A and B are shown apart, each in its own frame.
Chain A
Amino acid sequence: MKGIKDRVAIVGMGCTQFGELWDKNHRDLVVDACYEAFEDAGIEPKDIQMAWYGSRETGFTGTQLASALKLEYIPVSRVENFCAGGTDTFRNACYAVASGVCDIALAVGVEKCKDHSGGFNLDILEPFDRSMVEWDLPPASQFAQLATRYMYHYGWKYEELKRIFAMIDVKNHHNGTMSPNAQFRREITVEQAMNAPIISHPLGLLDACGVSDGSAAAIVTTPEIAKSMRKDYILVKAIALTNGAGQAILQPEYDFIHFPETVAAARNAYKEAEITNPRQEIDCAEVHDCFAITELITYEDLGFSPRGKGPEDVEAGSFTLTGNLPVNSDGGLKCFGHPLSASGLRMIYEIYHQLQGKAGPRQLKKVDIGLTHNIGGICGFFNCTVAVFGKP
């Protein structure tokens, strides 16, 4: 099996402001993200040969993207994979280039969450057939139970683990102050995070990401063509996608303190990228911090921290901008909010700029390898992507 390592290059990216964008519809956002990417790559819409459009909330079929960009009868597929939808959209575009069926492909993710059902609604459809069951477990409450279970399993007291969550929240908010496109751009304190109103015990308001509208886009091509377009193109080293099969329901021993989908996706991505020691070899990462507990568990699932030792790395500051493995250098979902299918491409946008040395005040010193991670769904039914990027 031939992997995708070094066979696809990113030559242009775009990302809109994320936030409450009442004056723009999804087509406006797609146009803004894509034209930034076209300008970055030095190409025009007519140069795109195939496109993938990631969206859950904003209308059906590839014509949503074709009409926004006035594409001339090229193939456009709509991709939906919940929180992993953005990176899966990107994955499809990369595979098309790697297969040789096209030279230049476009991947776009967009959501208008704020004006659909009053935001990222509490009404969860996935993964159940609506005719079968109503589900009384909204997202915050599901991840909250993982947090409580983490306390039970490792013997953490409420106040102690809340402080760890607060340190993650404070880190991401600090990074977000330097991201012009972020929804929230202000510092918070550990005390504010610990004392914020409880959404679902033990998770408080500031342990949760925002809800926003937004779009991000990537243009990919072969490394050979990329060389003729720019010097600082970025290479795709790996993309792994995993989808749960209901294991949390099927397996009585499911432990609710890790995400098997992340572990499997990381294993596959590290193999493809030829990474043997992720903590040492990865220089920065954008991980799915829908809630503070998700980011904490993800440190362990990705092999950044040993099992149960994520909190020690948080206390040591390992994942801050000055730590040895900065995580969510742009502020993460915490500061950008989470327009589902746009988030994965927003993360790739940050890693792309970190690798190019163009991340402005957030720029990290040494960045040769970057990683992105998305996970969404419910226990046993998570959809997860892990992608790895590097310099030519």
Chain B
Amino acid sequence: MGFENFGTVSFTAEAKAADFIAYLEAGKVMATRCRQCGASYFPPKMDCPRCLLSDMEWFEIKGNGKLSSYTVVNYGPAGFEADAPYILALGEFGDGIQIFGRLSRDIEEKDIELGMSLMVSPVKLPDDRIAYEFRRT
């Protein structure tokens, strides 16, 4: 349970990492770390693909990341036509954390620079849905 309201369109309802949504609603974007081998994961995983154990702890992604890639989706795929244009981006947040997501609509394409500082925050979408997005620091 927990992912019913995540993102623009439907997502899986059941997931071991469903606490991610409760954290989002509490204003936090969280990742997981394996207590055994120390590997960090975003999107959060509850089973470690590296050591194959399931001893994970949550931690909040705080502080600033760096924009390492982006594109402007001018032609949205099925289900996202009305969203286009939107900007998809990849951010590096240290500790092995790379986050893929959308840039906030208040950042214009002309203001984007590779390597620019970003933060990641929960965002409320229409129809009671929730996701996360990159914002200016």
Given A124-B77, A133-B12, A252-B97, A198 contacting B114 (CB threshold 8 A): no
Contact status A152-B114, CB under 8 Å: yes
A-side contacts of B49, CB under 8 Å: 250-251
Contact with B along A171-210 (1 / 0, CB 8 A): 0000000000000000000000000001111110000000
- Alpha-carbon separation in the docked complex, A202 to B87 (Å): 12
Is A256 interfacial (CB 8 A cutoff)? yes
A134 touches B11 (CB 8 A): yes
A136 in contact with B11 (CB, 8 Å): no
Measured CB to CB, the closest approach of chain A to B40, in angstroms, equals 6
Q: Which A-chain residue is minimally distant from B95 (CB atoms)? A: A252
Question: Once the chains bind, are A148 and B73 in contact (CB under 8 Å)?
Answer: no
Which of A135, A151, A252 meets B98, CB within 8 Å? A252
Q: Are B40 and A252 in contact (CB under 8 A)?
A: yes
The complex places the Cα of A254 from the Cα of B80 at a distance, in Å, of 27
| Interfacial chain B residues near A137, Cβ < 8 Å | 73, 77, 88
Least CB distance from A362 to B in Å reads 33
Q: Contact check: which of B43, B71, B77, B114 meets A144 at CB < 8 Å?
A: B71
Please state if B73 and A145 are interface contacts (CB–CB under 8 Å).
Answer: no
Shortest distance between the CB of B75 and any CB in chain A (Å):
6
Q: Which residues from 106 to 154 on chain A have a C-beta closer than 8 Å to any C-beta of chain B?
A: 121-124, 131-138, 140-141, 144-149, 151-153
Q: Are B77 and A252 in contact (CB under 8 A)?
A: no
Cβ-based interface call for B57 (8 A): no
Chain A residues with CB below 8 A from B90, complex form = 145, 149, 256
Across the A-B interface, how many residue pairs have beta carbons closer than 8 Å? Answer: 96
Q: Which residues of A contact B109 (CB under 8 A)?
A: 201
Residues of A within 8 Å of B68, CB to CB, are 149, 152-153, 256
Which of B69, B78, B109 neighbours the largest number of chain A CB atoms within 10 Å of its CB? Answer: B69
Asked whether B12 lies within 8 Å of A200 as measured between CB atoms, the reply is: no
Q: Mark A21-40, 1 if CB is under 8 A from B, else 0.
A: 00000000000000000000
Provide the residues of chain A in CB contact with B75, threshold 8 Å: 122, 138, 140, 199-200
B79 touches A134 (CB 8 A): yes
Q: Are B72 and A151 in contact (CB under 8 A)?
A: no
User: Counting CB contacts under 8 A, is A253 at the interface?
Assistant: yes
Bound-state CA distance A181–B79 (Å) is 35
Decide yes or no whether B54 CB sits under 8 A from chain A: no
Do A132 and B114 touch (CB < 8 A)? no
User: Which one of A135, A198, A200 has the highest number of Cβ atoms from chain B below 10 Å of its Cβ?
Assistant: A200
Residues 80-137 of B contacting A (Cβ, < 8 Å): 80, 83, 86, 88, 90, 96-98, 109, 114-115
Contact status A138-B76, CB under 8 Å: yes
A122 near B11 (CB under 8 angstroms)?
no
Residues of B within 8 A of A141 (CB): 71, 73, 88
Query: Could you write out 18 A-B pairs with CB less than 8 Å apart?
Result: A123-B78, A123-B79, A132-B11, A133-B11, A135-B77, A136-B77, A136-B80, A141-B73, A146-B69, A148-B70, A148-B114, A200-B75, A202-B71, A250-B49, A251-B49, A252-B41, A256-B68, A256-B69
The 9 A-B residue pairs whose C-beta atoms are closest, nearest first, are: A144-B71, A134-B9, A149-B69, A122-B77, A123-B78, A252-B96, A148-B69, A250-B49, A201-B72
Sample of 6 further A-B pairs with CB below 8 A, known A136-B9, A136-B88, A140-B75: A134-B8, A137-B88, A145-B71, A149-B90, A252-B39, A252-B42
